[in-house]
C-alpha cells in the first residue's frame, strides 16, 4: 500500500486541480461566454456538457443516456481501481497511466453526479477547425489512455525461449 501513496497523492492533486479549475470557470465566466487567451487559437469558454468526453452524446437530452453514462463511468472506475491495485509497484508507467485515468474519471463523475453535467472550458482552434470543448479531467483520461496505448504497442510479446524453439 505504501508504494501506491505517491500515485494516490497524484490522483488527489489532479482531482483537486480539476475541481478548482471548474469552480473558477463557473464562478468567473458566465455560461456560454468566452475569455480569449491566445487570439484565434485558445479561449476559456464556460459550457455545460451533459454527455461524455469531448461532448459525445451531449445533445440527446435523454435521461437513459445520462444514467448509462453514470453506470458506465462507475464500471470503468471500478476496473481502473482493480487494475491499479493488481499492477506491481515496479510497473511505474502503468501505475501512472492508471492514476491519470482514475483522476480524470473521478473528476468528471463528481460533476456528473453532483451537478447533472460536467463543466468544460478548454476551447482550442486550429486554423478554422474547432476542437471539442474539454477540461482537466478529460486531459488526464486522454493522456493516461495514450500512455497505455504506447505501453501496449512497445511491450514485447510474452513468448518464452522454449516455446519459440518448440514452434520450429
For the question of residue 18 being annotated catalytic, the response is no
Helix (H, G, I), strand (E, B) or coil at 58: coil
- The model's confidence at residue 157, banded by pLDDT at 50, 70 and 90, is confident
pLDDT tops 80 at residue 117: yes
Return the pLDDT at 56.
59
Q: Return the number of other C-beta atoms located less than 10 Å from residue 49's C-beta.
A: 24
Report the run of H or E that residue 34 belongs to, with start and end.
Answer: strand 34-38
Q: What is the DSSP string of 147-159?
A: HHHHHHHHSPP--
Tell me the average pLDDT across 11-37: 99
Return the pLDDT at 164.
52
Residue among 18, 111, 120, 123 flagged as catalytic: 120
Tell me the average pLDDT across 105-130: 94
pLDDT tops 60 at residue 64: yes
pLDDT tops 60 at residue 9: yes
For the question of residue 111 being annotated catalytic, the response is no
- The model's confidence at residue 51, banded by pLDDT at 50, 70 and 90, is confident
Average pLDDT value for the chain: 90
pLDDT tops 90 at residue 17: yes
Residue among 18, 111, 123, 138 flagged as catalytic: 138
Comparing 5-9, 57-61, 70-74, the range with the smallest average pLDDT is: 57-61
Amino acid at each position: 500500500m505504501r508504494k501506491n501513496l505517491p500515485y494516490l497523492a497524484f490522483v488527489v492533486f489532479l482531482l483537486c486541480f480539476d475541481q478548482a479549475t471548474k469552480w473558477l470557470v463557473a464562478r468567473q465566466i458566465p455560461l456560454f461566454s468566452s475569455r480569449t487567451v491566445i487570439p484565434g487559437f485558445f479561449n476559456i469558454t464556460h459550457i455545460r456538457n451533459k454527455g461524455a468526453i469531448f461532448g459525445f452524446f451531449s445533445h440527446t437530452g435523454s435521461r437513459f443516456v445520462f444514467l448509462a453514462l453514470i453506470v458506465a463511468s462507475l464500471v470503468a472506475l471500478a476496473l481502473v481501481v482493480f487494475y491499479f491495485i493488481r499492477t506491481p509497484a515496479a510497473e511505474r508507467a502503468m501505475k501512472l497511466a492508471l492514476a491519470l485515468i482514475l483522476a480524470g474519471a473521478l473528476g468528471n463523475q463528481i460533476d456528473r453526479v453532483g451537478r447533472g453535467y460536467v463543466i468544460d472550458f478548454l476551447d482550442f482552434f486550429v486554423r478554422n477547425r474547432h476542437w471539442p470543448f474539454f477540461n482537466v479531467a478529460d486531459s488526464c483520461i486522454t493522456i493516461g489512455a495514450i500512455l497505455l496505448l504506447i505501453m501496449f504497442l512497445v511491450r514485447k510479446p510474452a513468448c518464452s525461449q522454449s516455446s519459440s524453439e518448440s514452434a520450429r
